[in-house]
Amino acid sequence: MSTARRVSGALALSALALVGACGGGSEGNQASPETSVETTAAVTTQPATGDSLVAQARGDLVQVYATAAEDQPTVALDSPNENGAPLVFLVEQSQGDWLQVLLPVRPNGSTGWIRAADVQVATDPYRIEIALAAHQLSVYERDQLIAEHPIGVGTASTPTPGGKYYIKELLEPPSPDGPYGSYAYGLSGFSNVLDEFNGGDGVIGIHGTNDPSTIGTDVSHGCIRLTNDAITELVGYLPLGTPVHINP
């Protein structure tokens, strides 16, 4: 595998479309947000215990194969993605010149194989654990708990889907007083009950809100709500590719 780099998140802005399945606070007119995350950091040859591996596209597309032995790809994914963010994957395992990665496509949990030469591989020490019933988001740096925040989650009719995902993009809405608050992370997962929302394709996200009174309740269309202070804190250090485990 190619040399891995440690990643950290730093904002760069470009115009985007809105996260597809999120229910914000007051859902009035919703303008287009902005985003992008730049990955930079020190070089390391071996990931530390507890680190994840994140692969970022080198070129303008990455071909995905069903197995490492296939000759023809099953799909080709563009970079940047439809929202202007760099295409990233969470690496599940490596096999010679190939990487098995979690894909940002339906159905949730889809994986595929990509060529290691098509991506840059970086290490990420962070992960997010979400407890839906407890309405709590926890952030770990390797095995150390470094942050806990109360959250709002999906309703009974539009539940937040459980499973393993990763942060695929960072959006900055035009105003922190809008329904998505200061920032919104788009995840690699999708709503299981909504095929589209507000013109998007039902992507699940983690975002701020203009109505903090809804934190701690079942309120959204499937997204995870945080206070604006909490999401702004996370944006300060969580990079694209960070694993997100959504638990009951």
Point out the residues that are catalytic. 207, 223
Among positive and negative, which fits the CA dihedral 102, 103, 107, 108? positive
Distance CA(24)–CA(10), nearest Å, equals: 24
- 118: three-class secondary structure by DSSP: helix
Token pair belonging to 2: 């190619």
Token pair belonging to 224: 């995870």
DSSP annotation of 232 reads H
Q: For 65, list phi and psi in degrees, rounded to 5.
A: -120, 155
Residue with tokens 């945080």: 226
Strand-strand pairing, 88-95 and 34-35: unpaired
Distance CA(117)–CA(163), nearest Å, equals: 29
Helices within 105-227 (DSSP H only): none
Strand-strand pairing, 88-95 and 98-102: antiparallel
